[in-house]
Chains A and B, each alone.
Chain A
Amino acid sequence: EPEVTQTPSHQVTQMGQEVILRCVPISNHLYFYWYRQILGQKVEFLVSFYNNEISEKSEIFDDQFSVERPDGSNFTLKIRSTKLEDSAMYFCASSGGDSGDTQYFGPGTRLTVL
């Protein structure tokens, strides 16, 4: 069964460094999302991406964040100048195509900012 993959599974970085989280969505999906979950809290929406552009972003998704789909298969989330409060689990999801509205989630990347 097709699945969404994410790399790395765990990323440790120093405050102020840049990180890139990578996702490979399901191949025929059209909509792509990044969510994050701070430990002990709800999952929160960050950004959605459709037709090679951002379709919606949350208040959290400020100038520190950017997304890209550089080659038609990867979907990346870049966090410039990481802060301690960026420590969280980051989930990529995709939907559309044959799966309709069901969003399929990747296993997550646990980001720890020291």
Chain B
Amino acid sequence: KNEVEQSPQNLTAQEGEFITINCSYSVGISALHWLQQHPGGGIVSLFMLSSGKKKHGRLIATINIQEKHSSLHITASHPRDSAVYICAGGRYGNKLVFGAGTILRVKS
């Protein structure tokens, strides 16, 4: 059964702090997605990883295939980064299995 677990459930940070959100996934998942969900509910795809590391602006995502673990890092966090961050696993052309999400609040 494909499963995705992420931590922490809630995270509060001060503006400027370095943030890490972790995700573990089970066998059967070959690609790991990081998604962002804003209070209005819309979901935006941030990264899709099957190996290595990807960077976009202040966001960095890494994946360790052997350990079945991925992390999302936010450098120099800002209040506008406040959102729910979700990891989801899947295989090409197949459904995504979602984690429960991490509620991030960045205080100024």
- Say yes or no: A101 contacts B95, CB within 8 Å: no
Residues in chain B near residue A56, CB distance under 8 A: 94-95
- Say yes or no: B98 contacts A42, CB within 8 Å: yes
- Say yes or no: B93 contacts A96, CB within 8 Å: yes
Residues in chain A near residue B101, CB distance under 8 A: 42
Q: How many residues of B contact A (CB 8 A)?
A: 23
User: Is A103 part of the binding interface, using a Cβ–Cβ cutoff of 8 Å?
Assistant: yes
User: Is A75 part of the binding interface, using a Cβ–Cβ cutoff of 8 Å?
Assistant: no
Measured as residues with beta carbon below 8 angstroms from the partner, the interface class of chain A is: 20 to 34
Q: List A residues 54-102 near B (Cβ within 8 Å).
A: 55-56, 58, 89, 91, 93, 95-96, 100-102
Contact code string A21-32 (vs B, CB < 8 Å = 1, else 0): 000000000110
- Say yes or no: B48 contacts A45, CB within 8 Å: no
- Say yes or no: B93 contacts A50, CB within 8 Å: yes
Smallest CB-CB separation from A57: which chain B residue? Answer: B95
Residues in chain A near residue B98, CB distance under 8 A: 35, 42-45
User: Is B41 part of the binding interface, using a Cβ–Cβ cutoff of 8 Å?
Assistant: yes
User: Is B59 part of the binding interface, using a Cβ–Cβ cutoff of 8 Å?
Assistant: no
Choose among B31, B96, B97, B99 the residue with the greatest number of A CB atoms under 10 Å from its CB: B96
Residues in chain A near residue B35, CB distance under 8 A: 105
- Say yes or no: A101 contacts B41, CB within 8 Å: no
Residues in chain A near residue B33, CB distance under 8 A: 102-103
- Say yes or no: B95 contacts A104, CB within 8 Å: no
Residues in chain B near residue A58, CB distance under 8 A: 95
Residues of A with Cβ closer than 8 Å to B?
30-31, 33, 35, 37, 42-45, 48, 50, 55-56, 58, 89, 91, 93, 95-96, 100-105, 107-108, 110
Q: Which 5 A-B pairs have the closest CB atoms?
A: A105-B43, A45-B95, A43-B98, A102-B48, A107-B42
A30-B93, A89-B41, A108-B43 known; 6 new pairs, CB 8 Å cut-off, are A42-B100, A101-B50, A103-B33, A103-B45, A107-B42, A108-B41
